[in-house]
Structure 1
């Protein structure tokens, strides 16, 4: 794909934007990053072009804080975190990240009424829990957090301008609706059917959506010039993003279920407000997490698993690896087998890092030498991984390439020739650690486990010495005893890996 296609169509009324082929997506003028990302408006991968080559704005739709988050939410935010880390650490883009928190909503009000508490108390409780859950998954907190209840004034100003421009109208009950009939581009993210019949809610057209909901008894409300009420869902993000980032946004992200109507409505009202043909340049949508046999994980289906619950069985690194070996855009089917596969992949890297350390620190080795085949393989993997990440953040290909690199390195680690190649092994180790940590994996031991890990190290080293002696003497009884120790360690969540150069271990869940 050429970076700059030849364009035959022009939109003279759109400043600094060009139509991309025959789609409704408009390619920004600016600095190409070399990255291509799928955009639902263009329905294809498009080049990421930024006004500043190293700075980009990013807004993620955050939670409606009425209940605990589950691992469906976790997969969305972990995958968004991975994409953000890739842009920042592989392509040197300084991301200014923001996230909106919906702390006024029908579900929050319902929960408050059910529990006999104030809606603000409910929202604060679950928002605090949400951030704690994300921290436990090593998801970086956004630089800017916007809450609806704290931005009523900017939402009011946004709606006021829409009413004045006649892109919105006030209904009899004090609600305000966006007039989709006056926005020809409505449906560019995802075309939706329209019966053409007015609804009983006071809307002129069935596809019109609420910017403001007229006051109802028992609900929180704010007084504005057209009447008391509270913001509609879609207007919140548009108003808060416009306040923070102005009339143009580089990246807008969220789950695939938000593409329509939420993101469609955001784009429509924001383009109308700013009088532009394109508000968000790049839409990032994360596929659902499915429970095997179900359409998706959701509270309505009562098939949710809380984030603390999953972390009782699997580590945050394992869950992140499951996200890395899947495609961020497509559904991820959750089951125990997926998590076991992710854990096996993660442990393969952990074992390699430990086995490589043993190999490099082998004091009985011969004089060190270079192993050019491994160095050549390393260079090819580095180049291929950059290309994979440029192609819509293809992390699964990167993980496969790293596993292939580990297999090549193990041919040296397990060789009986006596050759010693510490430099290519160390370079391979540093590269693998670099990629995995840039993806957000920690690969580190907690401070509390250092002492117990030291004891395990001692036991594993002692067992290795005994096992080598037993192999030399062909002592079956002693070998069986060593196997018994290995099995008992595994029952205690410690998995041992034996090689002729030494034994290593990793903790498992």
Structure 2
């Protein structure tokens, strides 16, 4: 194991002299290990996820600049982040406090307003509303906290003023304010970019300096501040809004890989400078591009985008999510008809299995049910354990999907072979597990108006079957069969279904 991780988890990120970025290391937070490892660009390797409270974490996602419709490149990013958030909440019992910033004042928004003779606020409201509708259509959970730049001007201006007062930022002759990267030696630790060469702008002192406030230009919206008039720079918005909501330390900060530089690099620099700390965000989550035609990025500038409503005319939200699940969130994902058809085929394998399994479980012609199929139950346990380890290893959902497909293949040999015996309990437990994992990943598993495949009726069937087997075992004093019934009861309780035994009518309730 890398020596970086052999230090005690009680190490604290004390403020001390900053080193040049080449020597800057990821600082292990003080707190409680979760058992999860996630890739961190500062360490350039996977690092342990450690939280101050083992069951509470803060998460900020960079939201859209609302000047146009979202496309499926945005969708792939937000679906993958939604999957990771669901994993943290559903598999690792982390109470995730999520926030997202909406950039509703920007050069592109102003330009769109001028082109259409529409006030910039109306442009922003129109496309933000459309964005949330698109996210809902993809079953992406809405952040608990939403911050908009236009509503946070005071806190942003206060943030900028502190940087100026601390001489970490300077006011140019046009009223713009620039962050002075020469005053922050660890600048570049996320992207490993160096401050070399002459400034590209005569207002800048250093080449890598960036605007935290833009001086007022005629015809543009502006706000009056102590050093003049203008509006926020792009990078400062997230830093100020996150600091207002979460304070001086953030657990997870997420966005597309294209935001790593300059946006996230600049956020980290100005936030560390503002809070006088060495590490602001403990974990950076960067999602790879959605690509078309090989290695071409999908983007509005290349005019190769597909809108989310257009996507959903051809493929379901579940199919698109399955494509995301079977890829690695950190790397580029190619969007082609072949790739989407493959994702649809994988999704259908699960759907067909679940339908066949329900028919099998409710087989009225089977009169002599067998006890457990030990080999399949052992495989189920192996898949359960393997999936948890995969999710702990940088949220490896692709391995989880493959593990469950292998489990389906083994179970189908029982379902489709009349001579192998009748194992409704074993198959029911597998159906329950697979359905539970897929729904926790955010799949709806619905066809039109069809209700969720695994319903109360299926639980009723299992409970009634177990009741019949248990009464028969009691009458014969069959200890082995009674023990099997107890195992079923305990398994069901572990998935929040409490079975209440009765000599007359069995019952069950959902428990917390």
With the length of structure 2 as denominator, give the TM-score of the two structures: 0.84
Q: Which blocks of at least 5 consecutive residues in structure 1 are unaligned? A: 16-21, 451-509
1:384 corresponds, among 383, 386, 390, to 386
1:473-484 mapped onto 2 (5 Å cutoff): none
Deviation for aligned residue 1:419 = 1.1
Superposed displacement of residue 144, structure 1: 0.3
1:103: which partner in 2? 104
Q: Is the 8 A contact 2:61 2:253 kept in 1?
A: yes
Greater Cα offset, 309-318 or 187-196: 187-196
Compared CA separation, residues 3 and 124, structure 1 to 2 (3 A): farther
2:286 is paired with a residue of what secondary structure? strand
Which residue of 2 is the match for residue 65 of structure 1?
A: 66
Q: Residue in 1 aligned with 2:167? A: 166
Q: How does 1:483-502 map to 2 (within 5 A)?
A: none
Q: How does 1:119-198 map to 2 (within 5 A)?
A: 119-198=120-199
Distance 1:318 1:198 in 2: 48
Structure 2: distance between partners of 1:294 and 1:245: 37
Residue by residue, what CA displacement relative to the aligned partner does 1:6-56 show, whole Å, maximum 9, x if unpaired? 349x888439xxxxxx75100001000000000000000000000001000
1:354-503 pair list within 5 angstroms:
354-369=355-370, 370-417=372-419, 419-447=421-449
Seen in structure 2, the aligned counterparts of structure 1 residues 351 and 11 have a Cα distance that, compared at 3 Å, is closer
Instruction: Give aligned pairs, total.
Output: 443
* Counterpart in the other structure of 1:18: none
Which position in structure 1 is the counterpart of 2:348? Answer: 347
Q: How far 1:3 moved relative to its partner?
A: 11
- Report how far residue 193 of structure 1 moved: 4.0
Per-residue deviation, 1:422: 0.3
Partners of 1:292 and 1:141 lie apart in 2 by 31
**Aligned position for 1:255:** 256
The TM-score with structure 1 as length reference comes to 0.85
CA RMSD for the aligned pairs?
Answer: 1.8
Is the 8 Å Cα contact of residues 13 and 28 (structure 2) preserved in structure 1?
A: no
- Check conservation: 2:71, 2:306, Cα contact below 8 A: yes
**8 Å Cα contact 2:110/2:120 also seen in 1:** yes
**1:238-271: CA deviations, max 9, x gaps?**
0000000000000000000000000000000000
SS in 2 for 1:60: strand
Q: Using the alignment, how far apart are the partners of 2:397 and 2:103 within structure 1? A: 31
1:503 paired residue number: none
- Following TM superposition, by how much is the alpha carbon of 1:191 offset from its aligned partner in structure 2, in angstroms? 1.7
In the TM superposition, residue 367 of structure 1 has moved relative to its aligned partner by: 1.4
> Aligned partners of 1:272, 1:311: CA distance in 2, in Å?
44
Contact 1:366-1:419 at 8 Å conserved across structures: no
Residue number in structure 2 paired with 1:488: none
Q: How does 1:266-285 map to 2 (within 5 A)?
A: 266-285=267-286
Cα 1:387–1:12 change in 2 (3 A) is closer
Deviation at 1:198, TM superposition (A): 2.7
Residue matched to 2:117: 116
Q: Secondary structure at the match of 2:223?
A: coil
Output the CA distance in 1 between the equivalents of 2:159 and 2:28: 26
- The 2-side partners of 1:395 and 1:3 are apart by 28
Tell me, in whole angstroms, the C-alpha distance in 2 between the residues paired with 1:431 and 1:295: 38
Q: Please tell me whether residue 32 in structure 1 is matched to residue 54 in structure 2.
A: no
Please report how far the alpha carbon of residue 418 of structure 1 lies from its aligned counterpart in structure 2 after TM superposition: 5.7
> 1:294: how far off?
4.6
